[in-house]
Chains A and B, each alone.
Chain A
Amino acid sequence: MAGEYWQRFWQRRLGRRTFLRAAALGAGAAALGGSLACREQAPQAPPQPAEEGAPKRGGRSQAWSTVTFDQLDPHISVAASTAYFPRVYNTLVSQSQRKPDFFYYDLAETLEQPDAVTYIFRLRPGVRVAPNNLGVPERELDAQDVYLNWERIKNEPRALASRFSKQFLASHAAQDARTYVMRTTEPYAWALYNVGLNVSTIAPRELLTNPDRLRTAGAGGGPFSFGRFVEGEGLSLERNPNYYRKGSDGQPLPYVDGIDVRIIPDRAARRAAFQTRQVHYYTAANVREAQELLDPNNYYLIKEPIFSFMAVTMNADRPPFNDGRVRRAVARSINHDQFINVVHLGDAKVNGLVHWALGDFALPEQELKGRYLVYNPQEARQLLAAAGHPQGLRIKMMYPANTGASGGGDVSQYVPILIENLRAGGIEVEQEPLDFGTWLDRYRRRDYDSSLSLNQVYETAEVPLDWHTSWGPAGDGLSWNIFRDPEIDAAVRRVKQITQSAQELVRAIHEVQRLIYAKDPTFIPLPSSSSNTLWWNFVKNNPGRLGLGVTALFLVDWWLDL
Chain B
Amino acid sequence: MQAFIVRRLLAGVFILFFLSIAVFLVLRVAPGDPALLRLGQQATEEQIRAERQRLGLYDPLPVQYLRWMRGVLTGDLGISNFSGESIARSMRNRLPNTLELLIMTLVLTAAIGISAGVVSAVWRDSLLDYVVRVLAVLGLSVPALWLATLVLLVPLELWGYAPPIGRVVHFFDDPWGNLRQFLPPAVVLALGPAAAIMRLTRSSLLEVLRQDYIRTARAKGLGERLVIARHALRNAMIPPLTVLALQFSALLGGSVIIEQIFTLPGIGQYFFQAIFVKDFTVVQTLTLYTGVVVVVTILVLDVAYAWLDPRIRYR
Chains A and B bind each other: yes
Question: Interface residues, chain A, CB within 8 Å of chain B?
Answer: 1-2, 5, 9-10, 12-13, 64, 68-71, 78, 157-158, 160, 163, 215-216, 230-234, 260, 262-266, 268-273, 275-276, 278-279, 406, 435-438, 440-441, 444, 455-456, 463, 473-476, 478-480
Whether B82 is near chain A, meaning CB under 8 Å from some CB there, is yes
Question: Which of chain B's residues has its CB closest to A279's CB?
Answer: B166
A478 close to B45 (CB less than 8 A): yes
| Given A2-B273, A441-B32, A476-B45, 15 other A-B residues pairs in contact with their CB atoms under 8 A | A9-B40, A13-B40, A71-B83, A158-B51, A231-B85, A231-B93, A262-B166, A263-B166, A265-B260, A265-B269, A268-B261, A278-B164, A437-B31, A444-B36, A474-B44
Question: Which of chain A's residues has its CB closest to B270's CB?
Answer: A232
B94 close to A71 (CB less than 8 A): no
Whether B162 is near chain A, meaning CB under 8 Å from some CB there, is yes
- Collect the chain A residues with CB atoms within 8 Å of residue B277's CB: 5
Identify A474's interface contact among B41, B164, B265, CB under 8 A. Answer: B41
- Bound form: Cα–Cα A64–B90 in Å: 20
B40 close to A232 (CB less than 8 A): no
- Collect the chain A residues with CB atoms within 8 Å of residue B85's CB: 70-71, 215-216, 231
Asked, given contacts A78-B39, A474-B41, whether A234 binds B167 with beta carbons under 8 Å apart, the answer is yes
B42 close to A160 (CB less than 8 A): yes
Identify A265's interface contact among B30, B40, B263, CB under 8 A. Answer: B263
10 shortest interchain CB distances as A-B pairs: A437-B32, A262-B166, A272-B162, A12-B40, A70-B83, A232-B265, A273-B165, A276-B162, A438-B31, A269-B263
Identify A276's interface contact among B36, B82, B160, B278, CB under 8 A. Answer: B160
B166 close to A230 (CB less than 8 A): no
Identify which of residues 64-93 in chain B touch chain A, using a CB-to-CB cut-off of 8 Å: 82-85, 89-90, 93
A275 close to B50 (CB less than 8 A): no
- Bound form: Cα–Cα A437–B277 in Å: 8
- Bound form: Cα–Cα A68–B277 in Å: 12
B152 close to A268 (CB less than 8 A): yes
B90 close to A262 (CB less than 8 A): no
11 A-B pairs whose Cβ atoms sit less than 8 Å apart in the complex: A10-B40, A12-B39, A68-B273, A71-B84, A78-B38, A263-B265, A268-B149, A437-B33, A456-B41, A473-B41, A474-B41
- Collect the chain B residues with CB atoms within 8 Å of residue A264's CB: 165-166, 263
- Collect the chain A residues with CB atoms within 8 Å of residue B36's CB: 440-441, 444
Question: Which of chain B's residues has its CB closest to A261's CB?
Answer: B166
- Bound form: Cα–Cα A232–B78 in Å: 17
How many A-B Cβ pairs are below 8 Å? Answer: 164
A9 close to B37 (CB less than 8 A): yes
- Bound form: Cα–Cα A479–B82 in Å: 22
- Collect the chain A residues with CB atoms within 8 Å of residue B213's CB: none
Asked, given contacts A269-B261, A438-B31, A474-B44, whether A262 binds B37 with beta carbons under 8 Å apart, the answer is no
- Bound form: Cα–Cα A233–B90 in Å: 10
A269 close to B165 (CB less than 8 A): yes
Whether B262 is near chain A, meaning CB under 8 Å from some CB there, is yes
- Bound form: Cα–Cα A278–B273 in Å: 24
Chain B 276-289 near chain A by CB (<8 Å), digits 1 or 0: 11100000000000
- Collect the chain B residues with CB atoms within 8 Å of residue A262's CB: 165-167, 263
Asked, given contacts A232-B270, A437-B30, whether A272 binds B165 with beta carbons under 8 Å apart, the answer is yes
Whether B135 is near chain A, meaning CB under 8 Å from some CB there, is no
B42 close to A436 (CB less than 8 A): no
B32 close to A440 (CB less than 8 A): yes
Whether B43 is near chain A, meaning CB under 8 Å from some CB there, is yes
Asked, given contacts A1-B272, A2-B272, A157-B50, whether A231 binds B41 with beta carbons under 8 Å apart, the answer is no
- Bound form: Cα–Cα A478–B44 in Å: 9
Shortest B83–chain A CB gap in Å is 4
Shortest A509–chain B CB gap in Å is 20
Shortest B254–chain A CB gap in Å is 16
Asked, given contacts A474-B42, A475-B44, whether A5 binds B30 with beta carbons under 8 Å apart, the answer is no
A269 close to B276 (CB less than 8 A): no
Shortest B34–chain A CB gap in Å is 8
Whether B246 is near chain A, meaning CB under 8 Å from some CB there, is no
- Collect the chain B residues with CB atoms within 8 Å of residue A406's CB: 260
- Bound form: Cα–Cα A269–B164 in Å: 10
Asked, given contacts A5-B277, A9-B40, whether A266 binds B260 with beta carbons under 8 Å apart, the answer is yes
- Bound form: Cα–Cα A293–B281 in Å: 42
Shortest A404–chain B CB gap in Å is 13
- Bound form: Cα–Cα A451–B156 in Å: 39
- Bound form: Cα–Cα A237–B152 in Å: 29
Shortest B151–chain A CB gap in Å is 11
Whether B168 is near chain A, meaning CB under 8 Å from some CB there, is yes
Whether B161 is near chain A, meaning CB under 8 Å from some CB there, is yes
B43 close to A260 (CB less than 8 A): no
A435 close to B31 (CB less than 8 A): yes
- Bound form: Cα–Cα A169–B45 in Å: 20
Shortest B257–chain A CB gap in Å is 10
* Interface core residue of A163, A473, A480 (most chain B CB under 10 Å): A163
Asked, given contacts A64-B166, A435-B31, A480-B41, whether A275 binds B156 with beta carbons under 8 Å apart, the answer is yes
Shortest A504–chain B CB gap in Å is 26
- Collect the chain B residues with CB atoms within 8 Å of residue A10's CB: 40-41
Asked, given contacts A232-B93, A232-B94, A262-B166, whether A272 binds B276 with beta carbons under 8 Å apart, the answer is no
- Collect the chain B residues with CB atoms within 8 Å of residue A232's CB: 90, 93-94, 265, 269-270
- Collect the chain B residues with CB atoms within 8 Å of residue A2's CB: 272-273, 276
- Collect the chain A residues with CB atoms within 8 Å of residue B270's CB: 232
Question: Which of chain A's residues has its CB closest to B84's CB?
Answer: A71
- Collect the chain A residues with CB atoms within 8 Å of residue B84's CB: 70-71, 215
Identify which of residues 265-309 in chain B touch chain A, using a CB-to-CB cut-off of 8 Å: 265, 269-270, 272-273, 276-278
- Collect the chain A residues with CB atoms within 8 Å of residue B269's CB: 232, 265
Identify B90's interface contact among A231, A266, A275, A475, CB under 8 A. Answer: A231
Asked, given contacts A263-B166, A438-B31, whether A269 binds B160 with beta carbons under 8 Å apart, the answer is no
Identify B260's interface contact among A1, A215, A276, CB under 8 A. Answer: A1
- Bound form: Cα–Cα A268–B162 in Å: 11
Whether B22 is near chain A, meaning CB under 8 Å from some CB there, is no
Whether B147 is near chain A, meaning CB under 8 Å from some CB there, is no
- Collect the chain A residues with CB atoms within 8 Å of residue B47's CB: 157-158, 163
- Collect the chain A residues with CB atoms within 8 Å of residue B152's CB: 268-269, 272
A278 close to B166 (CB less than 8 A): yes
- Bound form: Cα–Cα A278–B265 in Å: 16
Shortest A97–chain B CB gap in Å is 16
- Bound form: Cα–Cα A194–B14 in Å: 54
B265 close to A441 (CB less than 8 A): no
Whether B103 is near chain A, meaning CB under 8 Å from some CB there, is no
Whether B13 is near chain A, meaning CB under 8 Å from some CB there, is no
A456 close to B161 (CB less than 8 A): no
A231 close to B156 (CB less than 8 A): no
- Bound form: Cα–Cα A170–B11 in Å: 63
